[in-house]
Amino acid sequence: MGTGKTGACLVCGKETTKLCSKCVKAGHDLFFCSPEHQKLVWAEHRRVCGKRLTPEPWPWYSQEEADETIANLDVKRKLWDGRELTMTEYLAEVAQVPKYYTAQHIYDFTAGHNHPFSLFISQAALADFRALEIRRKCPSRNFNDVLGKTDIFQIMHELWLAIYPGTPIGVVWHAGMQHRFVVLFSLLHQRAQDESTIPLAYCRNAYKQIEQYILSPASRAGALAFSLVNSLHRFIDSDTMVLRIPTLDTAQRGQQ
């Protein structure tokens, strides 16, 4: 879709007037110079395409996430408070979910299924599911170990906890960054699977576009912009694209 605006392609950096038409209607100018580059990140972008992402920044659990979570309900993982619990035990303790209903409870927050809970509860549940799953799959806490092997939103959730614990409601910069993080992590995910498919230059450019967005008036980040950029630099190496995302402990989670 052309609007007369000009911007850099989120994949390759080429100047273009072509935008994702659905995202424009949602208030986000996401530039892609060609259908090929938009399709390159479509597997992940489609889950947030056309969405404002405020106040609901996290997409529904994918069917793949749900199936894997349910297959590992009784596998223990180390929590932020140091305890080791299974997903079944955690949900029984925190949400009073009976063991027999645990699998259905996961599906209650999965795309293509009925969603009986409020937006607030749904977003909190999705955050917890992803936090518990990444702790099961990545006991080393080095997220480079699972990049390309796990859903990108599980890693993105940990990144956001490090950058800005808690989800700010109704702010432009958070939603705009989230859309651009999806593009970056889609590229990183594919490159981790096969380096020959995604040039490192594409990942570096997607990173650069996030940085430039934060510092632009469009983000409305104001005085917070430089802090956000500094956090981005701290947790993702802008040259190598190596992730340096920490895992938060109880005290840090308590600040959310």
Per-residue pLDDT reduced to its tens digit, 151-207: 999 999 999 999 998 777 789 999 999 999 999 999 999 999 999 999 999 999 999
What is the domain partition of the chain in residue ranges?
A: 2-253
Q: Name the residue with tokens 């994949």.
A: 11
pLDDT given at position 256:
40
pLDDT given at position 249:
59
pTM beyond cutoff 0.85: yes
Contacts of 161 (CB under 8 A, 6+ apart): 131, 248, 252, 253, 256
- 152 alpha-carbon distance from chain centroid: 6
d(CA 146, CA 151): 9
For the stretch 22-60, pLDDT in tens is 999 999 999 999 999 999 999 999 999 999 999 899 999
